[in-house]
Amino acid sequence: MATAHSQFGEESQETRSEMDNQTYTQPHHVEDVEIQEWFESLDSVLEASGPDVAREILERLRAHATVNGIDLPFTANTPYTNTIPLRLEPLFPGDQELERRIKSLIRWNALAMVVRANREEHNIGGHISTFASAATLYEIGFNHFWRGRSDSFEGDTIYFQGHAAPGMYARAFMEGRLSKEKLENFRRELKPGGGLSSYPHPWLMPDFWEFPTVSMGLSPLMAIYQARFQRYLENRGMKPATDAKVWAFLGDGETDEPESLGAITLASREKLDNLIFVINCNLQRLDGPVRGNGQIIQELESAFRGAKWNVIKVLWGSEWDPILERDSEGLLVKRMGELVDGEYQKLVVSSGAYVREHFFGHDPRLLKLVEPLPDEALRRLRLGGHDPKKVYAAYKAAVDHKGGPTVILARTIKGYGLGEAGEGKNVTHQQKKLNEDELKEFRSRFGIPLNDQDCIEVPFYRPAEDSPEVQYLRARRETLGGYTPARAVRSKPITTDNEELFKEFHDGSEGREVSTTMAFVGMLRKMLKDPEIGKLVVPIVPDEARTFGMESLFRTVGIYSSVGQKYEPVDVNTLLYYKEAKDGQILEEGITEAGSMASFIAAGTAYSTNGINTIPFFIYYSMFGFQRIGDFVWAAADMRTRGFMLGGTSGRTTLSGEGLQHQDGNSHVLALPVPNLRAYDPAYAYEIAVILQDGIKRMYRDGENIFYYITVMNEPYVMPPMPAGAREEILKGMYKFRAASNKKAKLRAQLFGSGAILNEVLQAQEILEQKFGVAADVWSVTSYKALYTDGIEAERWNRLHPTEKPHVPYVTQCVGDAPGVIVAATDYLKTLPNMISKWMPRRMATLGTDGFGRSEGRASLRDFFEVDAKFIALATLHELALDGKIEASAVEKAITELGINPEKWNPVVS
């Protein structure tokens, strides 16, 4: 039958069903003997010619099936069994019994930490079950794989699962790195002598934790970009290529977060064989099963395999091997693949008899396989993630794998070892207390040398320094190059003060109209050429380089690509062609603000991770910054990231045309909560130059743990030269830009402006003077955040030192004695200027851009949001009327004169 698509080799539905009907009229079940024949021939190929030949035969068989009309659906899944079969398992190199004892003690101390903390302070929280399920996954890493950082080797980079923190503390205690007192003060950081933070926080424990991981989904994405950044440093010749790895530990529930899987194709595209994910598949999250009605492991396998990762499933422990071996028909593996996770969870909490009946009892042939085993043995059939040999084999295969990233899907039991206290139960995530019987049971199960009486006190237990356990674990870490986690600043400070570099930008643009973005790009270009810092600069941009006029950098410093440029770019004949290069300096990330931020974090913490002072400049559409990836910014702050975030095309009324989604009047408010972030809204090129120069000095010379947010705009105007003596004041947050010319005028005002709105304020200054006889001083407020922080600091000091000479907030120092009314205009929410109003000598009127943006030109937008020169003039006159300096009727007259419609829309609510 002819079909419309037949010339393209496709069949229509009709053709297919017709063919199906003709050929396969009777339903036909595979006979056991038939399948047995197939298995046998594959086994003999495997034996005779090895796995590569067997793989090729299967692939060709699949192609043959397709050609013959067998519609095999695409599946990236393998059967529900271990990826590494017993015969390919390497020998376990450690002392298994000693390692088991060490692990048991760590289990005990981790549990003790949480139980004790909650006895001491009710509801202080903590997690037992997460580490309980992951202990083997960590211990194999600590004893056999993770290399510490030293002067001679950079070491492995490990993202520990946040809720497993008690386990890492317990190990550090065993290693002699944390005292009993510290453990005692888990979650009590303010106790004398200090305590331990609930989760990994480099801000709080800067010698210990490197990466904050507890906000789920951030660490997998950060780990991918971290691994890529290692390659970037190598390819740019900034560090030697090594076999150091980046490991990230995730919960299976955590993979629900879109960030967790959001960048996995980057990892395979970049062939990051320095990256290993370990997903602890205990099949549970906080409330209950991750996929009660499905199989999270198979779902993850297909996602990762589909993204071309090397996937290693570690599902079944060694006890299953002999049973699997007896299963010549493949019935057991088939049965394993049939159960949904909710059923598996039920099996975990059930008796051996239940397992026999409900799992094996499905088929008499399966029952026969386990006939020799008593019920107790069935209950104790271990899962892969709890079997050191299986975990070791997976890790070994992962570190040896070449050409791409590896994910290990390890099946475990949540709350392993807690028994009645919560093993495998839905409530287990929040279990923090164990009764006496449960404690004794745990103690006995793991052989902790404590009698009944001592046990119920839940003491921390560390064997003597010369015990085999402590000796062994110390020796292992020594062989592996030192302890982990451990954080240190590994880079040397830069030496230059960059005075010469930035000087030219103090002079203004000499009549030329430029935007602050252009001015910034000019500075970036110059920094890139600098002999000391040029190499360290890492420009990061999420597909907006042209928007910001940065395309000239494509050619000069190149776009980083791990494979260079395999094609002739379409614009090769132009001056600014799209040049990709292996040693390219720009990280052109594509459309991912989250990924770009992860690169920013990797580059901004390389001073610690890699001992290299890279200086990231992440420039992006400001509205897609804090608002979209705020939690990454928080993590960056926690990690003591250094660098510059540049919110481009910012300002609610400065970005014309784009409208509601793009016009940013929010980001400076969203920058407020981040304690170590310095936020600036500069108006002129010299302000940016001063801020950048000072920032580089503070972060990279003086080693301060701060980072910067600077908004830059695309409105072109003439950049004036820097007024004498303004430098320090720019950094502090405000300075007088232009004083009133008529200082003797009766009507006076102080006007504040920031960013592009400063120009409106300057126009208002003229209108007020020329039309209304008001003499106004104009201030450029470069940072409301800085003024606010300074103000609350002064206030606090005064409260605590009531008899001493009070500190005066910097804003009060600026305008405390200044005459006249005070008006502030900003392109951001009114709350920004309002934050400092209490330190003003008088009331302050505030104009800002609260509300949704509009697609319009700048003039209309500023009229709509009431932040243009005429509204600034009106606000000033109104303040003068409130002060009794002029009549209200004069204000009304001015409204008409200024052409303002008093009944216009209210931008805040329209």
Ligand X SMILES: Cc1ncc(C[n+]2csc(CCOP(=O)(O)OP(=O)(O)O)c2C)c(N)n1
The answer to whether residue 411 forms part of the interface with ligand X (CB under 6 A) is: no
For residues 120 to 159, the per-residue mask of contacts with ligand X, x marking binding by CB under 6 A and - elsewhere, is: ----------x--x--------------------------
Query: Among residues 214 and 699, whose Cβ is nearest to ligand X?
Result: 214
Binder among 216, 734, 836, 877 for ligand X (CB under 6 A): 216
* Interface region with ligand X, contact rule CB under 6 A, candidates 66-74, 101-109, 213-221, 714-722: 213-221
Q: Considering CB distances under 5 to 8 angstroms, the limit depending on partner class, which of Mg ion, ligand X, none binds residue 163?
A: ligand X
Binder among 163, 187, 432, 535 for ligand X (CB under 6 A): 163
Query: Among residues 250 and 373, whose Cβ is nearest to Mg ion?
Result: 250
Please say whether the beta carbons of 382 and 323 come within 8 A: no
Distance (Å, rounded) from C-alpha 694 to C-alpha 498?
Answer: 9
CB of 283 to Mg ion, least distance (A): 7
CB of 405 to Mg ion, least distance (A): 21
Backbone angles phi, psi at 558, to 5 degrees: 80, 155
Q: Which residue is nearest to ligand X (CB)?
A: 251
Residue with tokens 């594509």: 590
Query: Among residues 253 and 604, whose Cβ is nearest to ligand X?
Result: 253
Q: Considering CB distances under 5 to 8 angstroms, the limit depending on partner class, which of Mg ion, ligand X, none binds residue 714?
A: none
Please say whether the beta carbons of 147 and 244 come within 8 A: yes
Binder among 81, 143, 282, 693 for ligand X (CB under 6 A): 282
Residues 6+ apart with CB under 8 A from 259: 217, 218, 220, 221, 594
* Interface region with ligand X, contact rule CB under 6 A, candidates 249-257, 445-453, 705-713, 883-891: 249-257
Gyration radius (Cα) of the chain, Å: 33
Q: Which has the closest alpha carbon to 684: 778, 602, 600?
A: 778
Q: What is the footprint of ligand X within residues 533-592 (CB under 6 A)?
A: none
Residues 6+ apart with CB under 8 A from 85: none
Q: Which residues bind Mg ion (CB under 5 A)?
A: 251-253, 282, 284
Query: Among residues 256 and 897, whose Cβ is nearest to ligand X?
Result: 256
Helix (H) or strand (E) holding 831: helix 831-834
For 905, other C-beta atoms within 10 Å of its C-beta total 11
Q: Considering CB distances under 5 to 8 angstroms, the limit depending on partner class, which of ligand X, Mg ion, none binds residue 589?
A: none
Residue with tokens 């009070």: 806
Binder among 286, 475, 572, 718 for ligand X (CB under 6 A): 286
Distance (Å, rounded) from C-alpha 311 to C-alpha 308?
Answer: 9
CB of 421 to Mg ion, least distance (A): 18
Query: Among residues 160 and 607, whose Cβ is nearest to ligand X?
Result: 160
The residue type found at 327 is: D
The answer to whether residue 414 forms part of the interface with ligand X (CB under 6 A) is: yes
CB of 248 to ligand X, least distance (A): 13
Binder among 103, 116, 144, 285 for ligand X (CB under 6 A): 285
Q: Provide the CA 845 distance to its chain's centre, in angstroms.
A: 39
Q: Which has the closest alpha carbon to 472: 90, 92, 91, 101?
A: 101
DSSP string, 376-425: HHHHT--BGGG-HHHHHHHHHHHHH--SS-EEEEEE--TTTT-GGGTTT-
Q: What is the footprint of ligand X within residues 288-307 (CB under 6 A)?
A: 290
Query: Among residues 137 and 518, whose Cβ is nearest to ligand X?
Result: 137
Q: Which has the closest alpha carbon to 810: 784, 830, 834?
A: 784
Query: Among residues 215 and 467, whose Cβ is nearest to ligand X?
Result: 215
Which tokens hold the place of 302? 């297909």
The answer to whether residue 252 forms part of the interface with ligand X (CB under 6 A) is: yes
* Interface region with ligand X, contact rule CB under 6 A, candidates 174-182, 285-293, 811-819, 820-828: 285-293
Binder among 280, 295, 592, 649 for ligand X (CB under 6 A): 280
Q: What's the Cα-to-Cα distance from 767 to each of 639, 770, 894, rounded to whole Å?
A: 49, 5, 11
CB of 268 to ligand X, least distance (A): 23
Binder among 166, 167, 202, 253 for ligand X (CB under 6 A): 253
* Interface region with ligand X, contact rule CB under 6 A, candidates 176-184, 282-290, 348-356, 617-625: 282-290
Share of the chain residues as helix, strand and coil, in percent rounded to the nearest 5: 45, 10, 45
List, in sequence order, every residue forming a beta bridge with 709; answer none if it has no partner: 645, 679
Q: Considering CB distances under 5 to 8 angstroms, the limit depending on partner class, which of Mg ion, ligand X, none binds residue 139?
A: none
CB of 437 to ligand X, least distance (A): 25
Distance (Å, rounded) from C-alpha 163 to C-alpha 198?
Answer: 8
Backbone angles phi, psi at 613, to 5 degrees: -80, 45
Binder among 155, 251, 542, 643 for ligand X (CB under 6 A): 251
Q: Which residues in this chain contact ligand X in the complex, by CB under 6 A?
A: 130, 133, 163, 214-217, 251-254, 280, 282, 284-286, 290, 414, 429
